[in-house]
Amino acid sequence: MSKTLELLFENEEGRQVTVSVDQPIEPVDAAAVANSMAVILNGNTLLSSGGDLVAIRGARVVERNVNVIELP
């Protein structure tokens, strides 16, 4: 099972921009994530095809499970 932390922002066009972080430290510290996202937003660190990031939409941890199906 792999986990990814997704940081969700909004760009100037109003579209969602997702920044993925593989193998986040667990348990995820919501305050640290919020602070990091604020630094990214306020520092104009990232640019998307829809322009600068203008707002924080949220964050989530995504888990991916792969089950191999044995074929006859």
Per-residue pLDDT tens digits for 6-50: 999 999 999 999 999 999 999 999 999 999 999 999 999 898 999
What pLDDT was estimated at residue 47? Answer: 86
**Phi (first) and psi of residue 30, to 5 degrees:** -60, -40
Domain range annotation of the chain:
2-64
Grade residue 1 by pLDDT with cuts at 50, 70 and 90: confident
Handedness of CA 13, 15, 20, 25 (dihedral sign): positive
